[in-house]
Amino acid sequence: MQFKFILKMKKLTAIILLLLFSLDAMAQLEVKPDSFKEVAGFVNINLDIQEDDNNVPYAVVKVKTENINDKQRRELLFQGDAATFIECEYKVGEVWVYLTYKATYLKISHPDLSSTEFWFPYDMEPKKGYELTLVNNAALATDEETLERIRKLEEALRNQTEPQIVYVEKPAEQKQKPETTDKPRTPRYSFIVANASINTYGKPAFGVTLGDMRKVGVFATAMTNFRIEKMGFEGKFEHANSDQIQALIDKTGYNSKTDYMSYSVIFGVIFRAYGPINVKIGGGYSSNSMFVTLSYNNNYSSTYWVSDVSSYGFGGLIGVQAHLGNLIISLDGATTNFKIFETRLGIGFGMKGKK
């Protein structure tokens, strides 16, 4: 009796296992053969999802789904190579997957279903669109082959006359090291920007900014109006149009000439704020000075510094810089001793260095 009970239990166990194998086929994800293709005329115009964290453009893969409801579609997980960044946008009946265009494969999985890996048959291009169809195979494995396996197992159990004891040696347990994925290091980015500025009194200046960064970096900027020969002066006036100047002109018969000198050197840090937008903060030395030169018959002249529209000493700067691929646009605000202010606009280009 006991042996018959054991045989019945073995038969029941075998049938349950075969049914489990059959049910396993109910939730299999796969990419429909030959469904991957380029979407003609598609260009990624989503300005919020253009590049990954390494400034590499995205390609867009439209994942269309069959036998997958909306809840399951929003629970799909997408993975790629170690250097692949992925962002998703859920549409009706499909998922738009923005991924680094250099990706070689796409792994799609679901917590309650299975997973599948799709290797792209050719290299994708930046900002181009592609599509594929993901299918959830819901067919029961009740074909003739499965039924034949059940019949053979039943026959083998009926022919068994005595219990057989099989000793299975348990293999030594091995500790499995957790998989680690090294996140790619942000590459270096060197840049040069040409600047033009105008200050509180409408005086222009020109210069250049050099910098180097990853997510954080440094920069140096220099500006001048190329009138730096006026390094010394004989006296000081309080105002450029003061009675003091006019009285001296009336008394001596001198002619007057107004000149302006501007230069600055500033060093600082630059860091990524959001997407392609970077912020600059720096300090250094700055000088903005107006001079009045009095001359007599072009034979004798003396220069005076005008204090109310001049200042020199601390120079400060804060600004933003946008990296649009290799193109750079910057907008800065600068000051000399918080007395004279200037607005700077710059345009330049950047170059990616080694990681």
For 57-90, what is each residue's pLDDT tens digit? 999 999 999 989 999 999 999 999 888 999 999 9
**Cβ–Cβ under 8 Å, residues 345 and 205:** no
Q: What is the pLDDT of residues 190-241, one digit of tens each?
A: 999 999 999 988 889 999 999 998 889 999 999 998 876 555 566 676 666 6
Mean pLDDT in residue range 247-253: 62
List beta partners, residue 191.
211, 350
pTM greater than the 0.85 cutoff = no
Domains in the chain: ranges and CATH = 2-9+25-137 (no CATH), 189-352 (2.40.160.20)
pLDDT tens readout for residues 146-168: 667 667 766 766 665 555 555 55
Please tell me the total number of residues recorded for the chain in this structure.
355
CB atoms within 10 A of CB 294: 19
Residue 297, helix vs strand vs coil:
coil
Residues 278-288: tens digit of each pLDDT: 999 999 999 88
- CA 320 to chain centroid, in Å, comes to 16
User: What angle, rounded to 10 degrees, do the helices at 144-159 and 2-24 form?
Assistant: 170
Q: Is the dihedral of CA 198, 204, 205, 211 positive or negative?
A: positive
Helix ranges (H only) for 197-340 are 243-252
CA 340 vs. chain centroid, Å, equals: 36
